[in-house]
Structure 1
Amino acid sequence: MRLLKIFLLALLFGACATAKIDYDRNADFSAYKTFDFYPDMNSGLNQLDEKRIMARTEAFLKGKGMVRSNTPDMYVNIFTRQYETPYNSSVGIGIGSGGRGGGFGISGGIPIRSNSMTQEITFDFIDAQRDELFWQGVLEAKMGNNTSPEMREQAYRKVVEKVLGKYPPGKK
């Protein structure tokens, strides 16, 4: 059963592309010691998934020595975009006949799987004093539609680790 869960989790977010990171090369990342979530955050997630990803993000940043504060050095803004990704694999079926001077053929494709949902998750770190973006991480991941709450929790933990693991730049 445990192997099945690991396999399903791998299917859920295993096809994650590499996190794309961009940042202000002039930013002093050591100056950011406190954080809070952007007050007008509109993540595009349902409330349960938003709570999951915010909790994972908060735990991760605290693990890096940062403190959540009402007067933060930086705001964290998380937003997502979902779109359907067509699955291009199919099985072909054909009927053919050929002979002297003539031919006949019929073919068709039967999809092996249905389309999947891709979720693009963006993390923006915004300087609270200047209201300017100084770091951004983006990750695209395939999403299953019928995923258990436990698997969603694990999946968002992996997304946060993959993206925020690249913060601050130059440190591992």
Structure 2
Amino acid sequence: MRFLKIFFLSVLFVACSTARIDYDRGADFSAYKTFSFYPEMNSGLNQLDEKRIIAQTEALLRSRGFVRSDNPDMYINIFTRQYETPYNSSVGIGIGSGGRRGGFGISGGIPIRSNSTTQEITFDLIDAQKDDLFWQGVYEAKIGNNSSPEAREQMYRKVVQKVFGKYPPGRK
């Protein structure tokens, strides 16, 4: 039962999401073999979520043969932005009256759902020698505020997989 709960929460996290990338067409992506996280990173996440997303990013990159280094080829900078998205759906209630010479009506709307929270997570890959951005991945998803630590870890795993699934450009 707990597995199903975590599964459905993680589906909720990523069901309404998109991943966008941008990159420097002149960059030689094969030159980047080592990485580290930007020393002055200000992710906008709490410490627990920042540790989760860093661990997931590092695990994925290591699985692809990248090595974490004190003297890296590239830095990874992660930052987030969170905002409320208004829900525009409502149920209308109306009363009306009319006759030959006029009419009158009253109407009102009752919201079906409350606003939702959207989190935008940006991954910048920066050439360590040139201090130049060469790749960016952005992921946007509606999130739940009362999720368990397991569900949050699962969400960040999916975020990293979706964004870095498009790195390097042209990767199948």
TM range (shorter): over 0.9
Contact 2:13–2:144 (CA under 8 A) maintained in structure 1? yes
5 Å matches for 1:74-85? Answer: 74-85=74-85
What letter matches 2:160 in structure 1? V
* 1:68-103 deviation per Cα after TM superposition (whole angstroms, max 9, x unaligned): 011111000000011110011111111112222121
Local SS of the residue matching 1:133: strand
Q: Which piece of structure 1 moves more, 49-58 or 89-98?
A: 89-98
Match of 1:149 in 2: 149
* 1:82-131 deviation per Cα after TM superposition (whole angstroms, max 9, x unaligned): 11100111111111122221212111111111101111110000011111
Match of 1:129 in 2: 129
What letter matches 1:125 in structure 2? L
Match of 1:47 in 2: 47
5 Å matches for 1:99-138? Answer: 99-138=99-138
What letter matches 1:15 in structure 2? C
Pairwise CA distance, 1:6: 2.4
Whether 1:13 aligns to 2:14 is yes
Counterparts of 2:99 and 2:12, CA distance in 1: 47
What letter matches 1:149 in structure 2? P
What letter matches 2:101 in structure 1? G
Pairwise CA distance, 1:12: 2.1
Local SS of the residue matching 1:65: coil
Please list every run of 5 or more consecutive structure 1 residues that lacks an aligned counterpart in the other structure. none
Q: How many residues align?
A: 171
Q: Which piece of structure 1 moves more, 72-81 or 98-107?
A: 98-107
Q: Which piece of structure 1 moves more, 20-29 or 2-11?
A: 2-11
Please list every run of 5 or more consecutive structure 2 residues that lacks an aligned counterpart in the other structure. none
Local SS of the residue matching 1:35: strand
Local SS of the residue matching 1:147: coil
Counterparts of 1:79 and 1:107, CA distance in 2: 44
TM-score, scaled to structure 2: 0.95
The ranges of structure 1 where at least 4 consecutive aligned residues each deviate by more than 4 angstroms after the TM superposition are none
Counterparts of 2:45 and 2:79, CA distance in 1: 8
Pairwise CA distance, 1:5: 3.2
Local SS of the residue matching 1:42: coil
RMSD of Structure 2 on Structure 1 (CA): 1.1
Q: 1:7 to 1:125 in 2, by over 3 A?
A: same
